[in-house]
Structure 1
Amino acid sequence: MVLKLQRPILVGGIVLSFGLWLAQSAYDSVMELGEYTLWGAIAFGTGFWFLQQRRSQNQESLPRSTPVDLAAVENTIAFTETIITQLDQESEARDASARLREQVAQLKTELDRKEITIAVTGDKGVGKTALIKALETLYSNSQPWPDLSVQFQETPGLFTVKDSGIEAQTTAMDIALGSDLVLFVTAGDLTDSELQALQQLSAPHQRSILVLNKQDQYLSTQRATVLQTLRQRVLGRLDPEDVVAIASNPAPVKVRQHQPDASVKEWLEPQTPDLTLLNDRLTQILTQEQQQLVWASTIRAMTRVQAQAKQELNHLRRDRALPIIEQYQWIAAAAAFANPVPALDLLATAAISAQLVTELGDIYQQKFSLSQAQEAAKTLGSLMVKLGLVELSTQAIGNMLKSHALTYVAGGAVQGVSAAYLTRLAGLSLIEYFQEQEQSETSPNPQQFNPEQLTQKLKQVFQQNQRAAFMQGFVKQAVAHLIPKSSQPQPLLKKPMRYAHATRTAVSGQLSA
């Protein structure tokens, strides 16, 4: 059993303190030395523990790419077609779904293809171009797999520090994920950025080989050390055989030749590229895993089609959901504005929120019973109070209404506008929440209600809708709904409270009707 120290500073300090106490009985001068030793050992132990923790985190962040089979491909295709069918059923225009079905049909025909694309990616200056040239030269003379067409594609350099660097890196990752096999080239130990790039490639069943290029620049002992370090870095993500060292364009070697006349002739002799380990690994993978590479690429391509279909479906559902949110936000505003009793105001707001949950759930195929909708509405209201959204929005709206004398003297204006604003926040949060709660391949049924995830969406929506310009526009729009222009006299009323009472009575009559 291996004992893992969770508190290295505490353990190291206690052990060393005990040792120094024993030594003090024999040597009086050890006390001073022990103090420096103690702090030095603590610092060393802390640094060693931190490095070990960081290395273990890096290793844990690189999950192994799981192999795929035909059943996984068929499940992905079926789920993609299900989403497209939903889009067909909910959309009047069939252009988007027809285009997506064409992509699915095309991918089905490529399940037995005999063409393999290998992407060569990595940082700038690691020798990607030279590697492709050396591989093409090697396989132009003799190809180990005659029934297979292999093409190499170079990606833009990763981590390029330019204005278009982000676009270049995105393009590089798109090319890599669109290929069947990736050669990730490096010229030394991996940086944190390179580890993160490998993590992105590991998630979607992407087969990769880590290639240490320019091995001729290292001594033999250094070369073995760097190679072992790389294998340790990607432990759990890549097999040791998938980390190879090559020299795609080795530096020429200086040759000295002594002539009969005692003179010395020197010249630079070009060296042949050393691709032995990479060639052996490529031959093995393309011979034994050809079909799995194609299936994995099909799954990734189908996943991209799914994303397009979900995006179209989300746009469609959002267009249907926004009018419902707007309808209920004005109902909530009218109820709060017209109701002078706070308890009845809260009761009406809860009923409105529960109905909003039910109708939005129907749009996003998330069925709620009455009790479930009431519980979700209760949770939503509780989250708003705990996050301080009610207080913040009421204060902001109250300050904005002070500039509008007519609405400020109407006692229920702040409550009405706040109710509308909070109802809108609730509706938009539910939209964002439902979009992530849709069925998946592994879970065809909607997931259980998740308050933690809803909390994150509520925070996100509130941050997006608390800008001053938006708040001012919303308050102006809310005032127009609460107090119609035809009822607003041009001069300021001498008896504002009577007007406020009359307005509340009128709004109450509209709600009753």
Structure 2
Amino acid sequence: MTVYQRAHLSIQNVIQQVETFPVPLQTELQNQLGSLSSLSLKLNQGIFQIATFGFVSRGKSAVLNALFDEPIFPVGPLNGETQWPRSVRWSPVVAQGLSTLQIELIDTPGLDEIEGQGRAHMAQEIAKAADLILFITAGPPTALELDSLKALRQSGRPLLIVVNKADLYPDLDATGVYERLAEPLQKVLTPEDILLTSAAPAPVEIRVEWPDGRTTHDWETPRANIESLRSTLLQLIQKEGRTLLVLNTLLQVQRVERDIAEHVQTYEAPSGKACIGQYARLKAALIAVCPLLFLDAAIGLLADLLLIGTLVKLYRLPTHRHQVNQLWGQISLSFASLILVEMSTPTLSSWVGHISLGWLPWVGTGLLQGGVSLYGAKRVGQQTQAYLFNGYSWGPLGSSTLIQNIIKQLQPQMVLYRLRQELSDQLT
């Protein structure tokens, strides 16, 4: 089974799980189901999204127009010509490996626009959805632009720096720009990820010699110079496009799964609390009145296992191997604590019995054993909840499981290989 097929099954698996939830909870999760359907459609159609970011007047729209070789996106002398995101399908000369992907270019508003807080938030959402990010500057990046680069890097998406208007900086090269980057950016970027372009070169004065011997001067606008960007994009998509698309889709599915788990947790919180309380009290009562050590141990272990099974049925969330050791560790701790108390209380009762308090020592022993059992059952219940909620995306077809498998298969020559640590951090 290919990673594409596993990603499809992962999305369908989540949708089917939601359909088992109570109707009121399903109603609450309509937005999440819509997101999953959109992600499934994007994966089916092979839509590879490239989003451009940058400050105003850096030439974002001009760069995209140069890629299209026609004025698709609005440009002008005023700052902030792009007021909202706009996407257009890009169909370059089809290269081997690109025929199954549809490339979508997204132009976004400037990150530093006045009264642009809403647009800035929108840009961050686009960054999380994009498969590749282009950060466009006009010459060497400023300190504010470097801060924005760091923020965009947190999305875990591959990023290329496009230095536009390079014709105005004849001494500038990719190495010089790379040396201006902070160490965290240098770890995940190379000079090859910095591309110098001139999407709308400034007019240059030319000398014109006429047949009659006259010499005049005129102004001529050179052709756009974006071949380095075009070739880099096509090579990257050809080599890693499908992997990028699947990985980014799974990262978004992971966000949806975590959101679903939070809704389930909130919706079932009263029932979960009541369930844990009932099992804990029943376990404590039975152990408090039972005089036999082996029977107390069996009751304690059985009660903990029944509590886990009841919570699994209540939350309707899948079981998995992720962090299952923590759950078994809590069960073992609860069991060991009970055994320790059971073994120590006879000695305690015998010592207190010399004071001739009659049945009071046995009551105290029962209360102590019951209290330890009560606390242990509650801890097992809480650990079970954490196991189910935190591990919702870690099932056999869970997004986190599939993302982890992709990370393990990354090769050193891949752009994604440099992002493996950031991607791994998103799994925790």
Q: Shorter-normalised TM-score: what interval?
A: 0.5 to 0.7
Instruction: Say whether 1:377 aligns with 2:324.
Output: no
Alpha-carbon deviation of 1:81? Answer: 1.8
CA separation of 1:228 and 1:214: change in aligned 2, threshold 3 A: farther
Of 252, 262, 278, the residue aligned with 2:229 is 278
Q: State the alpha-carbon separation in 2 of the partners of residues 108 and 374 from structure 1.
A: 36
Where does residue 88 of structure 1 map in the other structure? Answer: 19
Instruction: Say whether 1:188 aligns with 2:141.
Output: yes
Q: State the alpha-carbon separation in 2 of the partners of residues 312 and 178 from structure 1.
A: 22
Letter in 2 for 1:153: D
Alpha-carbon deviation of 1:102? Answer: 6.1
8 Å CA contact 1:215–1:246 kept in 2: the answer is: yes
Query: Percent of aligned pairs with the same residue?
Result: 18
Instruction: Say whether 1:435 aligns with 2:389.
Output: yes
8 Å CA contact 1:355–1:373 kept in 2: the answer is: no
Where does residue 360 of structure 1 map in the other structure? Answer: 311
Q: Map Cα deviations across residues 478-510 of structure 1 (whole Å, 9 max, x no partner).
A: xxxxxxxxxxxxxxxxxxxxxxxxxxxxxxxxx
Letter in 2 for 1:429: Q
Q: Map Cα deviations across residues 247-299 of structure 1 (whole Å, 9 max, x no partner).
A: 567789999xxxxxxxxxxxx99998654432443455567776666555544
Q: State the alpha-carbon separation in 2 of the partners of residues 310 and 102 from structure 1.
A: 16
Alpha-carbon deviation of 1:351? Answer: 6.3
Unaligned runs of 5+ in 1: 1-69, 256-267, 385-409, 447-513
| Residues 434-443 or 416-425, more deviating | 416-425
Question: Number of paired residues?
Answer: 325
Of 76, 80, 96, the residue aligned with 2:7 is 76
SS in 2 for 1:220: coil
SS in 1 for 2:20: helix
Alpha-carbon deviation of 1:423? Answer: 4.5
Q: State the alpha-carbon separation in 2 of the partners of residues 339 and 88 from structure 1.
A: 44
Where does residue 139 of structure 1 map in the other structure? Answer: 68
Alpha-carbon deviation of 1:378? Answer: 2.9
Q: Which has the higher contact order (CA 8 A, sep 6+)?
A: 2
Q: State the alpha-carbon separation in 2 of the partners of residues 156 and 97 from structure 1.
A: 33
Q: Map Cα deviations across residues 166-195 of structure 1 (whole Å, 9 max, x no partner).
A: x87654332023234310235438857734
CA separation of 1:300 and 1:377: change in aligned 2, threshold 3 A: closer
8 Å CA contact 1:73–1:295 kept in 2: the answer is: yes
Where does residue 153 of structure 2 map in the other structure? Answer: 198
8 Å CA contact 1:118–1:180 kept in 2: the answer is: yes
Q: Map Cα deviations across residues 86-127 of structure 1 (whole Å, 9 max, x no partner).
A: 3333535655688766655555444464865431125x56x5
8 Å CA contact 1:155–1:171 kept in 2: the answer is: no
RMSD of the TM alignment (CA)?
Answer: 5.7
SS in 1 for 2:19: helix
Alpha-carbon deviation of 1:381? Answer: 7.0
Q: Which has the larger helix fraction?
A: 1
8 Å CA contact 1:76–1:299 kept in 2: the answer is: yes
Letter in 2 for 1:131: K
Where does residue 162 of structure 2 map in the other structure? Answer: 211
Where does residue 119 of structure 1 map in the other structure? Answer: 51
Q: Map Cα deviations across residues 326-348 of structure 1 (whole Å, 9 max, x no partner).
A: 21343366579x7799x999967
Q: State the alpha-carbon separation in 2 of the partners of residues 223 and 306 from structure 1.
A: 40
Q: State the alpha-carbon separation in 2 of the partners of residues 181 and 131 from structure 1.
A: 15
Alpha-carbon deviation of 1:141? Answer: 2.7
Letter in 2 for 1:326: G
Where does residue 244 of structure 1 map in the other structure? Answer: 195
8 Å CA contact 1:116–1:149 kept in 2: the answer is: yes
Alpha-carbon deviation of 1:431? Answer: 0.6
Where does residue 321 of structure 1 map in the other structure? Answer: 272
Unaligned runs of 5+ in 2: 72-89, 95-101, 207-218, 339-362, 402-428
Alpha-carbon deviation of 1:208? Answer: 3.3
8 Å CA contact 2:53–2:110 kept in 1: the answer is: yes
SS in 1 for 2:155: helix
8 Å CA contact 1:88–1:97 kept in 2: the answer is: no
Structure-1-length-normalised TM-score: 0.46
Alpha-carbon deviation of 1:83? Answer: 2.9
SS in 1 for 2:111: coil
Of 124, 130, 151, the residue aligned with 1:179 is 130
8 Å CA contact 2:36–2:253 kept in 1: the answer is: yes
8 Å CA contact 1:212–1:227 kept in 2: the answer is: no
Q: State the alpha-carbon separation in 1 of the partners of residues 136 and 27 from structure 2.
A: 42
CA separation of 1:303 and 1:182: change in aligned 2, threshold 3 A: same
Q: Which has the larger radius of gyration?
A: 1
SS in 2 for 1:183: strand
CA separation of 1:89 and 1:114: change in aligned 2, threshold 3 A: closer
